[in-house]
Amino acid sequence: TGSLPTDPAEIARLDRAHVFHSWSAQDKVDPMVVVGGEGNYVIAGDGRRYLDFSGQLVFTNIGHQHPRVTEAIAAQAAQLCTTAPAHATAAKSEAARLIAELTPGDLDSIFFTNGGAEATEHAIRMARQFTGRNKILSRYRSYHGATQTAINVTGDERRWPSDTATAGTVHFFGPFLYRSVFHAETPEQERDRALEHLEQTIRMEGPDTIAAVMLETIPGTAGIMPPPEGYLAGVRRICDRYGVLLILDEVMAGFGRTGRWLALDHYDVTPDLMTFAKGVTAGYVPLGGVAISRAIRDHFGQRPYPGGLTYSGHPLACAAAVATITTMRAEGMIDNADRIGSQVLGPGLAEIAQRHRSVGEARGIGVFWALDLVADQETREPLGADRVAATVAACKAAGLLPFTAGNRIHVVPSCTISDDEARQGLAILDEALAVADGH
């Protein structure tokens, strides 16, 4: 077996010599060397332990190195590491059954991918094939992945450099009361105006040209904006009115993050297609997929589906999914996420928001929270990048690893976080926010 470098300085040197990093100016990359993980802690090369409020990229929903899952992966590796996607395996069959059990309505057929972006690609291809229409409507302030179609339905600035193939993607505004483009003052106004805007967009684009509306059930990277009561049901009604499919993206919000198995469980809405990734295996082995309605599955009953992946339903990934789902269930992790959200993170972050002039709003649910940092409470001007970076640095210096996006700090620990760990993290965040306040 090849030997791995053990000296943290050598690991960092090799990284900078040979690894090309996502979304980064390569000369400015300075990665933290990570050598281990344990529950809600990450162990860095210098031996420091960081309380993980990031879920890495919001995916380690069961915490780090959960023994039931690492053992299941090892057992699968010992028995059968890999197969062609055409074959049936115990891990793939059982993972599909477990996921189908969690999805609403008749979304009982699962196409496995390697991650979220591929799930977006395939959900869109299925919708286009099924409807014979081309356009996909998605919201500004969204993220659906970084492959060509996925980045073009994404509604943030990461789309702009790749904006060479927008044909077939149209954006609209979703509800976001704190930064309302609809001049709304109440959630009900925001909901009604956002729905009216979506319906007008569909009419102006031409309903017969639109295959699907694609939405994150709760937009994640864009700022964790739980939709107002009735919004998603309203979207479903509008889609049905015009024969447009609804695709819900549960990649970040799914698998326990919101204190329910799926974020859509809060809203009583059934999409035609649902994408997932991240939490389904807690990222232990990469896996994503699309849950498909009966009608769309049957569309490909006699004609072949024009798409596939070498590693669709990879045994190691599917074994990790089975172990993750069964462990989450056995250990009550969804209930813990729900309780921590309503009893510790929600109230704690609300207090923090009151104490700090840099915190414009704290919003979220379960273990899925954002602090919207502002330079000015009145104008809600987003806090500058330097000040956000300095605040994150203060968190890290005190042993906390937060997740940051734009002008926000996201509090997105695992579903297993304990009351004490959550309180410790909030206390560090509270102190670090003095930097954001400008003290």
Tell me whether residue 192 or residue 255 sits nearer to ligand PLP (CB atom). Answer: 255
Asked if residue 286 lies in contact with residue 315, where contact means CB atoms within 8 angstroms, the answer is no
285 by DSSP, 3-state: which?
coil
Q: Which pair of tokens denotes residue 327?
A: 């462990």
Minimum CB–partner distance for residue 290 and ligand PLP (Å):
12
Closest-CA residue to 316 (of 19, 5, 76): 76
CA 403, CA 52: separation in Å to the nearest integer? Answer: 9
- Whose tokens are 């469980």? That residue is 265
Tell me whether residue 217 or residue 327 sits nearer to ligand PLP (CB atom). Answer: 217
CA 253, CA 224: separation in Å to the nearest integer? Answer: 9
Read off φ and ψ for residue 302, nearest 5 degrees: -110, -30
CA 409, CA 372: separation in Å to the nearest integer? Answer: 7
Tell me whether residue 57 or residue 77 sits nearer to ligand PLP (CB atom). Answer: 57
Read off φ and ψ for residue 20, nearest 5 degrees: -100, 120
**Which residue lies nearest ligand PLP, judged by its C-beta?**
116
Sign of the four-CA dihedral 16, 18, 22, 26: positive
Tell me whether residue 219 or residue 348 sits nearer to ligand PLP (CB atom). Answer: 219
Q: How far apart, in Å, do the first and last CA atoms of the chain sit? A: 53
Compute, in degrees rounded to 10, the torsion defined by CA atoms 40, 396, 19, 312: 30
Tell me whether residue 120 or residue 149 sits nearer to ligand PLP (CB atom). Answer: 120
Tell me whether residue 277 or residue 433 sits nearer to ligand PLP (CB atom). Answer: 277
CA 285, CA 114: separation in Å to the nearest integer? Answer: 9
Q: Which pair of tokens denotes residue 110?
A: 């699962």
CA 369, CA 224: separation in Å to the nearest integer? Answer: 6
CA angle in degrees (0–180, nearest 5) for 94-100-102 = 110
Tell me whether residue 219 or residue 360 sits nearer to ligand PLP (CB atom). Answer: 219
Interface positions with ligand PLP (CB under 6 A)? 57, 115-117, 120, 143-145, 216, 220-221, 249, 251-252, 277, 288
Minimum CB–partner distance for residue 251 and ligand PLP (Å):
3
CA 292, CA 112: separation in Å to the nearest integer? Answer: 11
Minimum CB–partner distance for residue 249 and ligand PLP (Å):
5
Tell me whether residue 45 or residue 220 sits nearer to ligand PLP (CB atom). Answer: 220
Read off φ and ψ for residue 324, nearest 5 degrees: -65, -50
Half-sphere exposure of 62 (CA within 13 A, CB side): 28
Tell me whether residue 124 or residue 435 sits nearer to ligand PLP (CB atom). Answer: 124
Task: Tell me the C-alpha to C-alpha distance, in Å, between residue 373 and each of 174, 383, 388.
Answer: 20, 5, 8
Minimum CB–partner distance for residue 278 and ligand PLP (Å):
7
Minimum CB–partner distance for residue 117 and ligand PLP (Å):
3
Tell me whether residue 153 or residue 435 sits nearer to ligand PLP (CB atom). Answer: 153
Q: Which residues contact 215 (CB under 8 A, 6 or more apart)?
A: 138, 139, 142, 174, 232, 235, 246, 247, 248, 249
Task: Tell me the C-alpha to C-alpha distance, in Å, between residue 429 and each of 52, 64, 361, 374, 438.
Answer: 12, 21, 15, 16, 15
Provide Rg for the chain, Cα atoms.
22
Tell me whether residue 117 or residue 262 sits nearer to ligand PLP (CB atom). Answer: 117
Minimum CB–partner distance for residue 423 and ligand PLP (Å):
27
Tell me whether residue 372 or residue 421 sits nearer to ligand PLP (CB atom). Answer: 372
Minimum CB–partner distance for residue 384 and ligand PLP (Å):
24
